[in-house]
């Protein structure tokens, strides 16, 4: 093959040697991160630039057989494409990922794509280990988002797939969390959810461990617990649930949707792993790692679990969610991710401070709920009609993402029956800017005064 070290030789005599050497030094400098990545298979300390990332993707994708101009392709699926634009959308990996329903199985037609997926899964493990879960053994980037990933985990880990005993064991215990995808994912795979209701503790909604324990029946084979969600729901006591799971030998899956950004939530998971049984932890790649929607990072303290999960997927899948995660890791690096987390913490603090001030002005209060990302403020002084108007006004002012809740109109979202007061929730999530926070509260004030004047 082309030996890049020989460029000097090829042009010696035509270009001065010291210049050629300098060129080689710069080229090597730019290619060195690739070498380190191949050797260490870890998230780089410092960010790569776009050129470097594109070069990596190009080199690997040029190993796949659909790029082989000397091949005779007589299969029915050869990753033929109709337009060069398809190369962009897939990062060059037209064969997707997976083989015969085994996500991480190397695909003989796609050696480059297989290497790409292999590296990516190492980076997935590494980023989790670096940011709170050193007790993780393996991880995989699922080519589907959080909801479908939960289905994947539950199906993969249910007791002896088609055995007789397992017919009864079709119930999954869930600490109430009002998100449609969760319930749909359980329904999707033909299981039955058993939901444990939330209870009020001051402003916060929690699901007491005793209630969970009491809800257990013989049909339950798994329990799903949660960290990140929006107020008034607080994170589950995953450590206690983990102990319970161990004691009762339940499959225990933690949905840590956007929890990687918070070292507090991560610490909870870490001790849950240490204290009992955690089978898989699912996190969204877009909400935690700033990729486009479509993938999830599934981590586990058990390599065997990850293998089972990988084997449960029926067929092949789109490579894009995997490529997107890889791009995020390389373009951020440990350093970049650290910076994002620090900024998130500052923004979260700022959001709370601003809302406390505003709440005072309008005789409301910031609710006392533990949440490292979101802040909730009461809206007791607004009528049903005004609450509705406030939502509309914020939409028109281009504030995206706030939730105005009137529990009397709609219970779903509160995770409890009869939450006492209306409220608004705002997030200072990873990737948000100071300007987002400042203008959001400013516009909230404006919207509030519009509807109340």
Residues 262-281 that bind a second copy (CB under 8 A): none
Q: Exactly one of 42, 43, 44, 64 binds a second copy (CB under 8 A); which one? A: 64
Q: Contact, 156 vs 103, CB < 8 A?
A: no
Single out the residue of 62, 36, 30 nearest to residue 49, CA to CA: 30
Residues 106-135 that bind a second copy (CB under 8 A): 106, 108-109, 111-112, 114-115, 118
**Of the candidates 42, 43, 44, 53, which one interacts with a second copy according to CB under 8 A?**
53
Residues 6+ apart with CB under 8 A from 386: 451, 452
333-338 CB contacts, 8 Å cutoff, 24+ apart: 333/43, 333/44, 333/45, 333/46, 333/47, 333/48, 334/43, 334/44, 334/45, 334/46, 334/130, 335/45, 335/46, 335/47, 336/46, 336/47, 337/43, 337/127, 337/130, 337/131, 337/289
Segment contacting a second copy by CB under 8 A, of 128-136, 205-213, 232-240, 432-440: 432-440
Measured from the CB atom, is 244 or 312 closer to a second copy?
Answer: 312
Give min distance, CB of 232 to a second copy, in A: 15
- Distance (Å, rounded) from C-alpha 285 to C-alpha 228? 14
- Of 217 and 271, the one with the shorter C-beta distance to a second copy is 217
Question: Would you list the DSSP string of 304-340?
Answer: HHHHHHHHHS-S-B-SHHHHHHHHHHHHHHHHHHHHH
- Give the end-to-end CA distance of the chain in Å, rounded to a whole number: 74
Q: Say whether residue 218 binds a second copy (CB under 8 A).
A: no
Q: Is 317 in the site for a second copy (CB under 8 A)?
A: yes
**Should residue 312 be labelled a site residue for a second copy when binding is judged by CB under 8 A?**
yes
The binding track of 230-269 with respect to a second copy, each residue x by CB under 8 A or -, is x---------------------------x-----------
Rg (CA), the chain: 25
Q: Does 45 bind a second copy (CB under 8 A)?
A: no
- Segment interacting with a second copy (CB under 8 A) among 29-37, 234-242, 301-309, 383-391: 29-37
Question: Is there binding between residue 215 and a second copy (CB under 8 A)?
Answer: no
Of 341-400, binders to a second copy (CB under 8 A) are 351, 373-374, 395, 397-400
**Shortest approach of a second copy to residue 208 CB, angstroms?**
25
**Which residues, 191 to 210, sit near a second copy by CB under 8 A?**
191-192
Number of residues that bind a second copy (CB under 8 A): 161
Residue whose CB is less far from a second copy, 144 or 245: 144
Per CB under 8 A, which of residues 157..176 are in contact with a second copy? 158, 161-162, 170
Q: Which is nearer to a second copy, 35 or 357 (CB)?
A: 35
Q: Is 297 in the site for a second copy (CB under 8 A)?
A: no
State yes or no: residue 28 binds a second copy (CB under 8 A).
yes
Residue (171 or 237) nearer to a second copy, CB: 171
Question: What's the token pair of residue 29?
Answer: 């400098």
Burial class (CB in 10 A: 0-12, 13-18, 19+), 411: middle
CB nearer to a second copy: give 153 or 269. Answer: 153
State yes or no: residue 339 binds a second copy (CB under 8 A).
no
Active site (catalytic) residues = 77, 99-100, 107, 179, 257, 287, 316
The helix (H) or strand (E) run that includes residue 353 is: helix 320-361
Q: Is 50 in the site for a second copy (CB under 8 A)?
A: yes
Burial class (CB within 10 angstroms; exposed 0-12, middle 13-18, buried 19+) of 275: middle
CB count in 10 Å sphere of residue 78: 15
Residues 91-110, mask of contacts with a second copy (x by CB under 8 A) = x-xxxxx--xx----x-xx-
Residue 135, preceding bond cis, omega within 30 degrees? Answer: no
Looking at residue 12, what DSSP letter applies? B
CB of 171 to a second copy, least distance (A): 11
Cβ closest to a second copy, residue 185 vs residue 414: 185
Q: How far is the CB of 85 from a second copy (least distance, A)?
A: 5
| Smallest distance, a second copy to C-beta of residue 306, A | 14
Minimum distance from residue 420 beta carbon to a second copy (Å):
24
**Strand-pair partners of 79:** none
Q: Which long-range contacts (CB under 8 A, 24 or more apart) does 236-241 make?
A: 236/175, 236/206, 236/207, 237/206, 237/209, 238/268, 238/269, 238/272, 238/278, 239/268, 239/271, 239/272, 239/275, 239/276, 240/209, 241/175, 241/209, 241/212, 241/272, 241/276
Nearer to a second copy among residue 39 and residue 165 (C-beta): 39
């Amino acid at each position: 093959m082309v030996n890049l070290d020989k460029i000097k030789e090829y042009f010696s005599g035509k270009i001065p040697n010291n210049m050629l050497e300098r060129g080689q030094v710069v080229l090597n400098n730019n290619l060195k991160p690739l070498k380190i990545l191949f050797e260490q298979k870890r998230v780089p300390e410092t960010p790569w630039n776009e050129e470097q990332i594109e070069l990596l993707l190009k080199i690997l994708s040029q190993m796949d057989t659909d790029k082989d101009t000397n091949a005779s392709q007589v299969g029915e699926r050869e990753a033929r494409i109709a337009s060069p634009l398809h190369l962009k959308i897939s990062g060059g990996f037209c064969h997707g990922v997976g083989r015969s329903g085994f996500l991480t199985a190397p695909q003989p037609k796609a050696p480059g794509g297989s290497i790409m997926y292999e590296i990516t899964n190492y980076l997935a493990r590494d980023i989790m280990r670096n940011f709170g879960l050193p007790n993780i053994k393996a991880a995989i980037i699922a080519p589907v988002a959080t909801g479908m990933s939960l289905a994947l985990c539950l199906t993969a880990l249910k007791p002896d797939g088609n055995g007789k005993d397992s017919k009864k064991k079709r119930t999954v215990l869930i600490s109430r969390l009002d998100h449609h995808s969760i319930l749909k994912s359980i329904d999707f795979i033909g299981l039955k959810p058993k939901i444990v209701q939330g209870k009020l503790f001051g402003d916060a909604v929690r699901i007491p461990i005793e209630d969970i324990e009491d809800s257990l029946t013989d049909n339950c084979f798994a329990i799903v617990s949660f960290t990140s969600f929006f107020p008034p729901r607080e994170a589950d006591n995953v450590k206690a649930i983990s102990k319970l799971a161990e004691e009762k030998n339940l499959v225990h899956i933690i949905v840590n949707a956007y929890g990687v950004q918070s070292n507090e939530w991560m610490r909870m998971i870490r001790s849950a792993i240490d204290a009992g049984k955690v089978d898989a932890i699912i996190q969204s790649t877009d909400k935690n790692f700033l990729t486009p929607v479509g993938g999830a990072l599934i981590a586990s303290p058990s390599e065997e679990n990850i293998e089972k999960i990988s084997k449960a997927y029926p067929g092949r899948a789109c490579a894009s969610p995997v490529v997107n995660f890889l791009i995020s890791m390389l373009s951020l690096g440990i350093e970049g991710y650290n910076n994002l987390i620090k900024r998130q913490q500052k923004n979260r603090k700022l959001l709370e401070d601003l809302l406390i001030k505003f709440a005072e002005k309008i005789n409301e209060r910031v609710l006392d709920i533990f949440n490292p990302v979101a802040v909730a403020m009461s809206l007791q002084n607004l009528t049903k009609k005004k609450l509705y108007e406030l939502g509309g006004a914020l939409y028109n002012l281009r504030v995206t993402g706030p939730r105005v809740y009137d529990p009397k109109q709609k219970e779903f979202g509160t995770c409890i029956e009869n939450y006492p007061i209306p409220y608004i929730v705002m997030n200072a999530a990873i990737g948000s800017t100071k300007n987002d926070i400042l203008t959001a509260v400013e516009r909230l004030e404006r919207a509030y005064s519009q509807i109340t004047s």
